[in-house]
Chains A and B, each alone.
Chain A
Amino acid sequence: MVGSLRYYFPEKNRYYYLLGWSILLAVVWAVYLKWALLKTMDNMPGYGDFVLRSITIRFCIGLLVTGSVALASLLYYILQDQKDLQKRNSESDKMTRDAELFKLRQQLQPHFLFNSLNSINALIGSRPEQARHMVQQLSDFLRTVLKREENQWVSLGEELQSLQLYLDIEKVRFGHRLDASITCEESTPQMKIPAMILQPLVENAIKFGLYDTTEAIQIPIQAYTEKSLLVVKVQNPYDPSTHVPKTGTGFGLSSVRRRLYLLFARNDLLETSTDQQIFTASVKIPQPS
């Protein structure tokens, strides 16, 4: 009884409900006793009178017993509830922590970071000036990444600046193999964009461009407006014969799609297409009015 009422009654009402049940049971108890006593002690003179007059006392005793049993089980369930809640809380805390840790790792991109440090290490011996320059670029890039928050809007200009830093570092790492260019229409740099939404697209393009082919590659990044939407298009070459295109299911792209959905409740803002040996991802950003 107590178990079921947890779900059907609001906190306060459950006590009245319990009290009601206790009273009802006590009444049933008193009535039953009266009937049973009168039935068994039928032939004793004056006993019926005594039974009738003492009915209140028996009712009170009955109420006391049912009431305490109800109270005890209520306490038991409250305790149980609290234990469950605690367990759930600590589990969800752990999940949040894990997710945050994962995000942090993603943000820092250990592979990129350690390879960049390795390049700097190599430059220190032969080209110390360039090593210094790269340390500066890497620090600037990391600072931007750490500063940005998920729900923050920035201007496209700012976002492209941090992308440029990233691309410059990658160019040092891969030398002549990587050629990336950023072009944007005149009006676009002032337009707004959710922070760090382009980064995964460019990382994806570099990853597939550089690791799916052995030749020098070009990664053009273009920004323009289309029907009041800001469009940013990133392209990279890939090899259709060895790569089974999993259009838009890569971790980077799916997280971008998810973010766009959370921000605008639309699923059509990230488009990917493959044309012979070029993979294109374009993201459309509705402008805040």
Chain B
Amino acid sequence: MIRVLLIDDEPLARLIIREYLDSFAQVEILQECNDGFEGVKAIQQHQPDLIFLDIQMPKINGFEMLELIDQPPAVIFTTAFDEFAIRAFETHAVDYLLKPFSKERFSKALQKWIDQSGGGTRQAATSEILEEAALSPLQRERVVIRNAGKIKIIPIQEIRWIEAADDYVKLHTRDGAFLKNKTMGYFEKSLPADQFVRVHRSNMVQVKEITRLEPYEKETWLAILRSGEKVPVSKTGYAKLKVVLGL
């Protein structure tokens, strides 16, 4: 039995997939989800083998939803028109369906997945896609995190500074600190370089939050933020800050 989830905010878009799946007796539809929040919950609850996932959805898009799941299932993406997503799919050879798709096209994609039976290669492709999706214009403006079972969307303007914490990074905001399972390198790549500077191996800081820089130990500084927080700055970090601040 192949256990699948349909995640799309348009009821008719789910209806057509349900109809196409009718002729696959070995497929069981566990649930239909209206948005990414329901999607996260349903994936955790059911642990499906495969999900059909729309990209443009309310609040959080398909990519952001996948970011919130530790072990994402295999995905067949469906989208109507999103130049960015399509480019990402093509560079990473991930199968996707362009709406409206025919039954033949749909069956081909599903059959291909069944033949490969969701091997490890697809998992790798999914994480690569997510890395790339983080560079899309929309996702560069916010970070989606899971906190105590709740999903929180943080506009990047509200991030004061970022700190490395083992396999996670800690995002410090007005409402407290939140963990995200990404690396510093990832944030360095996806956040706008003129707003966030990697001032230390384990720190990044939002430039407009800095009120002053104080010398600390030998060849290190402390960036004092408007909130009063103190962030260590290394020698190379200091040089980078000087460039961004135009000193």
A and B are interacting partners: yes
Q: Is B10 positioned at the interface, with any CB of A under 8 Å from its CB?
A: yes
Among the stretches A91-99, A119-127, A219-227, A254-262, the one at the interface with B is: A119-127
Convert A11-44 into 0s and 1s, putting 1 for each residue whose CB lies closer than 8 angstroms to a CB of B. 0000000000000000000000000000000000
Q: Is A47 positioned at the interface, with any CB of B under 8 Å from its CB?
A: no
Q: Is A213 positioned at the interface, with any CB of B under 8 Å from its CB?
A: yes
Q: Is A172 positioned at the interface, with any CB of B under 8 Å from its CB?
A: yes
A239 to chain B, nearest CB (A): 8
Q: Is A110 positioned at the interface, with any CB of B under 8 Å from its CB?
A: yes
Convert A103-125 into 0s and 1s, putting 1 for each residue whose CB lies closer than 8 angstroms to a CB of B. 00000001101110111111101
**Is B56 within 8 A of A214, CB to CB?**
no
A269 to chain B, nearest CB (A): 28
Most chain B Cβ neighbours within 10 Å, of A114, A172, A214, A241:
A214
Q: Is A45 positioned at the interface, with any CB of B under 8 Å from its CB?
A: no
Q: A174-B9, A211-B57 are in contact. Are A111 and B81 (CB under 8 A)?
A: yes
Which residues in chain A, 164-190, are within 8 Å of chain B measured between CB atoms? 172-175, 177
* Chain B interfacial residues counted at CB < 8 A: 26
**Is A114 within 8 A of B58, CB to CB?**
no
**Is B58 within 8 A of A118, CB to CB?**
no
Q: Is B119 positioned at the interface, with any CB of A under 8 Å from its CB?
A: no
B57 contacts which chain A residues (CB < 8 A)?
211
Q: A173-B10, A211-B58 are in contact. Are A114 and B15 (CB under 8 A)?
A: no
Q: Is A1 positioned at the interface, with any CB of B under 8 Å from its CB?
A: no
Convert B62-102 into 0s and 1s, putting 1 for each residue whose CB lies closer than 8 angstroms to a CB of A. 00000000000000000011100000000000000011100
Q: A211-B56, A214-B35 are in contact. Are A125 and B19 (CB under 8 A)?
A: yes
Interface size class of A (residues with CB under 8 A): 20 to 34
Convert B16-30 into 0s and 1s, putting 1 for each residue whose CB lies closer than 8 angstroms to a CB of A. 100100000000000
A174 to chain B, nearest CB (A): 6
Q: Is B247 positioned at the interface, with any CB of A under 8 Å from its CB?
A: no
In whole angstroms, what is the CA distance A119 to B19 when docked? 13
Most chain A Cβ neighbours within 10 Å, of B12, B19, B58:
B12
Q: A115-B10, A118-B99, A119-B13 are in contact. Are A242 and B142 (CB under 8 A)?
A: yes
B155 contacts which chain A residues (CB < 8 A)?
242-244
A151 to chain B, nearest CB (A): 29
Q: Is A156 positioned at the interface, with any CB of B under 8 Å from its CB?
A: no
Q: What are some 8 contacts across the A-B interface (CB < 8 A)?
A: A114-B81, A114-B100, A118-B16, A121-B16, A172-B12, A175-B10, A212-B59, A241-B153
**Across chains A and B, which 4 residue pairs bring their CB atoms closest together, nearest first?**
A114-B80, A122-B16, A118-B99, A122-B12
